Amino acid sequence: MIEHVVNALSEAVDQQRRLDVDTLHSVVEFLGTYADRRHHEREEALFFPLLVRRGVPPQGCPIGGLNNDHAKGRALVATLADQIPAYAQQHPDAERALRQTLGDIARLYRHHLWMEDAMVFPMAERLVSEDDHQELLAKFIDLDRVIGPAVVARLERFADTISFPAGGTGTAG
């Protein structure tokens, strides 16, 4: 789901037309709730501590680097949220700044997803037992209950269908 949104952001950066403000607000919600509260919280609170208990150092690569990415991502999403009103009101330089932030977010997440796929998940396959896996799944379900299944489902639908409508300006929100 996160990759779908990142791909859409990459495409949006290169568009020569205005981006829909409502979609931008939805991107902020998706990244703040689905990517950060759901995905990153699972990693920080549950998955990484398990890897540390299995001997992976908490600092450095990969856990320290991924946690650093989480912090950078939070800062970039906050910046994006702050930039949307100025963009909606067509302030000078607001479009350039917003597109720069979208590109920074896309690059950060692409690298982050690569690190997970290339390093963390193969390592976890060797270190995490079936019992560990089942315990993680149960705890992941508990975290989803906190966010709310309806919210998770709505954000997944958004990720599946994200697009920036042609010529849309949306609302300043």
- Residue 80 maps to a domain: yes
CA-closest candidate to residue 152, choices 22, 71, 11, 41: 41
Q: How many domains does the chain have?
A: 1
- Residue 47 maps to a domain: yes
Which residue type sits at 133?
H
CB 34 within 8 A of CB 155: yes
Domain assignment of residue 154, given as a range: 2-161
- Residue 171 maps to a domain: no
- For residue 131, the Cα-to-chain-centroid distance in whole angstroms is 28
Q: What is 94-142 written as a DSSP string?
A: HHHHHHHHHHHHHHHHHHHHHHIIIIIHHHHHHH--HHHHHHHHHHHHH
> What's the CATH code of the domain at 65?
1.20.120.520
- Residue 116 maps to a domain: yes
What is the chain's pLDDT, residue by residue, as a tens digit (173 residues)?
Answer: 999 999 999 999 988 888 999 999 999 999 999 999 999 999 999 999 999 999 999 998 899 999 999 999 999 999 999 999 999 999 999 999 999 999 999 999 999 999 999 999 999 999 999 999 999 999 999 999 999 999 999 999 999 999 886 544 444 33
